[in-house]
């Protein structure tokens, strides 16, 4: 019996590590050191009720349909942020959309957050619809109020909303007075007026929830000096607040170092807590609800990580680490609308009907009554469904676990998570060599070259070489993922700094007659392309004679032609030509002339041949007698192209 007990005990101990691995996850997560127990991991989940009315269901990691606020709480989210619009409905009671986020919606969400042990972060827009740096429209009911009346209105509205939350037993931890109030708020455009409104909101908050933090929220930390200016204004007007909060969307909002430096400076100078009030990251470039997304695979955006579930987690982890370890008084990070997913219809029409009826899209057509210029024209669905932490069916993405995993880390062996695209520029007359490996972005964000198999045939090869200048996408397989190689078939230019833009030493200038001016000039209006070109001028007669030439490096043996352009004037008799030399011997020339400002003359030499290893030099010889104000000219855009 005793032996059996011992065996059982041993078996239990052996089984323990398995059950203790509640955090078992395929996510790679490096531990965030010094992460405080009470660090704010927030989720703006304002749209959930409207989505649920539209038929959306949420699930936990076991696949069980569950209250999404419980799923969030179970995964380390400890704050729910909710926006409040004063009256997001038209005169027929039709909602403007974006969740129709009035105080009733906030109370319903607040109850659920409180039920699962999370605090509520109340986000007053003091508008009837979206407020952001570009838009701070006054609520309908407050139109025409002077600043004194509006201040009282803000105070009463805040007081009333917070009282409703308090009466409902909601645990309010923070109240945000205004949303992204960069120089505008509630229709006011001067800080002298805005500060009254902020004071009023803060005063109401202190009365109803004296324990809650009062936050102000701004955007665009990348705009140098702007945050310091806001903080200085708040200080000057003695606005009563605790937290200086920032949006941080990495695609637009500058570097993490800039963010943490900027926030730290405010924390230090004004003794405030600081935090990231909004952030998000795409887990896919794809759209799931027939309404195009703000962030896709293309466009001029900063993409620090691949658009994958792991990429989302890596963004959140690095941002959290930066706020915890690189920011003074950093208290939290709030993810924006990570629960806003597709309403699930099979077509735009189906979804559109739901967006209109329940306000589950970013704006309904009814918003035209309030915001005709924007929402009234571009109303539709969700533009951030690819940045949610739930998939289109409401199943949590593995990235949702990052909040918990950051505490202890989950530093498992990294695996390939995404592939870097390959870009090749290939001369039409040169062989196309596709690489044998592509770079995989590993789950720990390191890079590793892995073998690739391209879907590339001889037929494709010859077709690409015989179809002129064109772009192609070649696909392949690497590490179980699709690799892409973008090939541009071009008339390749074998010269460096062909347009004189780089101030490089590629060009050799030899002044044969002491010209007054002979240099590369930065003057867009005098350049053929770009802003720079080769410039010459000399007052005296017969004082312009020079060559400007370049030796082509590693030129493969073959047939070539050289092209270059010139303009100028006051030249008198001239001897100007483009030339090519092979091993010191001139093998091709083309005459050039200068006839006046803007009259670019483009010379193309006859074809010439060189062998591998030959020294090939191309250039322009210029000799002007000069007339009038002295000969002058500009040389630009030199091309050394292969010829079939
Ligand atoms: Ca969408």
Rounded average pLDDT per 10-residue block, the chain, 644 residues: 44 42 81 98 98 98 98 98 98 98 98 98 98 97 98 98 98 98 97 98 98 98 97 98 98 96 98 98 96 85 92 98 98 98 97 98 98 96 98 98 97 95 90 96 96 97 94 96 95 94 91 95 93 95 96 94 96 96 97 94 97 97 92 96 89
Ligand 1 centroid vs 57 CA: distance in angstroms?
A: 17
From CA 406, how far away is CA 552, in angstroms rounded? 54
Ligand 1 centroid vs 545 CA: distance in angstroms?
A: 64
For residue 447, give Cα distances in angstroms to 86, 304, 416, 442, 450. 49, 13, 9, 6, 10
Ligand 1 centroid vs 364 CA: distance in angstroms?
A: 14
Q: What is the length of the chain?
A: 644
| Three-state DSSP state, 397 | coil
From CA 615, how far away is CA 431, in angstroms rounded? 22
Number of H helices, E strands in the chain: 13, 26
Ligand 1 centroid vs 381 CA: distance in angstroms?
A: 6
Ligand 1 centroid vs 53 CA: distance in angstroms?
A: 18
| Three-state DSSP state, 419 | strand
Ligand 1 centroid vs 24 CA: distance in angstroms?
A: 31
The DSSP letter of residue 224 is T
Question: 233 — phi, psi (to 5°)?
Answer: -60, -45
Ligand 1 centroid vs 624 CA: distance in angstroms?
A: 64
Ligand 1 centroid vs 280 CA: distance in angstroms?
A: 15
From CA 130, how far away is CA 85, in angstroms rounded? 8
Q: Catalytic residue numbers?
A: 180, 278
Ligand 1 centroid vs 243 CA: distance in angstroms?
A: 32
For ligand 1, a single-atom ion, the residues with CB < 5 A are 287, 289, 291, 293, 382, 385
Ligand 1 centroid vs 294 CA: distance in angstroms?
A: 8
Ligand 1 centroid vs 530 CA: distance in angstroms?
A: 39
Ligand 1 centroid vs 176 CA: distance in angstroms?
A: 27
Ligand 1 centroid vs 493 CA: distance in angstroms?
A: 42
Ligand 1 centroid vs 56 CA: distance in angstroms?
A: 15
Ligand 1 centroid vs 123 CA: distance in angstroms?
A: 24
* Angle, CA 387 vertex, CA 81 and CA 486 arms, to 5°: 160
**Residue where the block lists tokens 């990580």:** 305
Write down the pLDDT at residue 9. 44
From CA 638, how far away is CA 621, in angstroms rounded? 13
Ligand 1 centroid vs 318 CA: distance in angstroms?
A: 26
CA dihedral 19, 20, 21, 22 (to 10 degrees): 80
From CA 537, how far away is CA 635, in angstroms rounded? 12
Contacts of 466 (CB under 8 A, 6+ apart): none
Q: In which region does residue 640 sit, left (phi positive, over 0), alpha (psi from -120 to 50) or beta (all else)?
A: beta
From CA 140, how far away is CA 242, in angstroms rounded? 30
Question: 36 — phi, psi (to 5°)?
Answer: -65, 150
Ligand 1 centroid vs 557 CA: distance in angstroms?
A: 53
pTM, two decimals, is 0.80
DSSP characters over 240-298: --SEEEEE--TTTS--HHHHHHHHHHHHHHH--EEEEEEE---S-S--SSSS--SS-SS
Ligand 1 centroid vs 342 CA: distance in angstroms?
A: 7
Write down the pLDDT at residue 191. 97
Ligand 1 centroid vs 51 CA: distance in angstroms?
A: 14
Write down the pLDDT at residue 59. 98
Give the distance, in angstroms, between the CA of residue 550 and the centroid of all CA atoms in the same chain.
40
Going edge to edge, which strands form the sheet with 508-511? 508-511, 544-552, 616-624, 574-582, 585-591
Write down the pLDDT at residue 41. 98
- The answer to whether 372 and 111 have CB atoms below 8 angstroms apart is no
């Amino acid at each position: 019996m005793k032996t059996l007990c011992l065996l059982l005990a041993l078996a239990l101990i052996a089984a323990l590590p398995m059950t203790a691995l509640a955090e078992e996850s395929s996510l790679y997560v490096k531990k965030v050191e010094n992460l405080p127990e009470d660090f704010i991991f927030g989720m703006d989940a304002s749209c959930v009720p409207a989505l649920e009315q539209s038929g959306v269901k949420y699930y936990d990691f076991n696949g069980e349909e569950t209250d999404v606020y419980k799923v969030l709480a179970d995964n380390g989210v400890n704050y729910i942020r909710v926006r409040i619009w004063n009256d997001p409905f038209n005169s027929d009671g039709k909602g403007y959309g974006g969740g129709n986020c009035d105080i009733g919606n906030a109370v319903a969400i607040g109850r659920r957050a409180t039920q699962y042990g999370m605090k509520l972060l109340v986000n007053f827009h003091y508008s009837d619809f979206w407020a952001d740096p570009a838009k701070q429209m006054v609520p309908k009911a407050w139109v025409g109020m002077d600043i004194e009346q509006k201040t009282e209105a803000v105070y009463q509205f805040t007081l009333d909303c917070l009282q409703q939350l308090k009466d409902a037993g909601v645990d309010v931890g923070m109240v945000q007075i205004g949303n992204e109030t960069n120089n505008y708020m509630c229709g006011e455009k001067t800080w002298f007026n805005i500060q009254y409104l902020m004071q009023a909101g803060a005063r109401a908050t202190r009365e109803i929830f004296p324990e809650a933090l009062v936050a102000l929220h701004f955007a665009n930390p990348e705009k140098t000096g702007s945050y310091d200016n806001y903080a200085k204004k708040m200080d000057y007007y003695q606005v009563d607040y605790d937290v200086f909060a920032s949006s941080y969307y990495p695609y637009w909002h500058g570097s993490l170092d800039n963010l943490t430096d900027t926030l730290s400076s405010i924390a230090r100078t004004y003794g405030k807590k600081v935090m990231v009030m909004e952030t998000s990251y795409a887990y896919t470039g794809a759209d799931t609800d027939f309404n195009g997304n703000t962030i896709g695979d293309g466009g001029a955006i900063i993409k620090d990580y691949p658009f994958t579930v792991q990429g989302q987690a890596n963004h959140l982890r690095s941002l959290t680490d930066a706020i915890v370890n690189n920011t003074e008084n950093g208290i939290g990070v709030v993810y924006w609308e990570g629960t806003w997913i597709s309403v699930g219809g099979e077509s735009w029409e189906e979804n559109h009907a739901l967006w209109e009826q329940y306000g589950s899209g970013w704006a309904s057509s009814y918003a035209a009554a309030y915001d005709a210029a924007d929402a009234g024209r571009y109303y539709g669905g969700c533009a951030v469904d690819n940045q949610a932490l739930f998939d289109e069916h409401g199943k949590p993405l593995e990235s949702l676990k990052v909040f918990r995993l950051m505490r202890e880390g989950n530093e498992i062996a990294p695996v390939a998570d995404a592939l870097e695209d390959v870009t090749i520029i290939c001369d039409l007359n040169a062989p196309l060599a596709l690489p044998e490996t592509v770079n995989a972005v590993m789950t720990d964000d390191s890079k590793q070259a892995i073998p690739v198999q391209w879907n590339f045939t001889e037929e494709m090869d010859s077709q690409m070489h015989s179809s002129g200048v064109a772009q192609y996408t070649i696909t392949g397989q690497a590490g179980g993922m699709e690799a892409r190689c973008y090939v541009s078939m071009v008339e390749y230019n074998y010269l460096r700094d062909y347009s004189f833009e780089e101030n490089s030493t590629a060009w050799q200038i030899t002044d044969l007659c002491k010209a007054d001016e002979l240099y590369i000039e930065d003057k867009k209006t005098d350049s053929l392309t770009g802003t720079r070109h080769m410039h010459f001028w000399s007052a005296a007669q017969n004082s312009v004679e020079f060559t400007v030439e370049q030796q082509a490096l590693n030129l493969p043996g073959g047939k070539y032609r050289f092209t270059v352009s010139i303009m100028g004037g006051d030249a008198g008799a001239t001897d100007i030509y483009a030339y090519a030399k092979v091993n010191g011997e001139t093998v091709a020339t083309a005459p050039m002339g200068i006839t006046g400002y803007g009259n670019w003359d483009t010379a193309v030499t006859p074809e010439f041949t060189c062998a591998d290893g030959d020294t090939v030099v191309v250039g322009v010889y210029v000799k002007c007698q000069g007339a009038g104000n002295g000969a002058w000219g500009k040389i630009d855009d030199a091309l050394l192209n292969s010829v079939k």
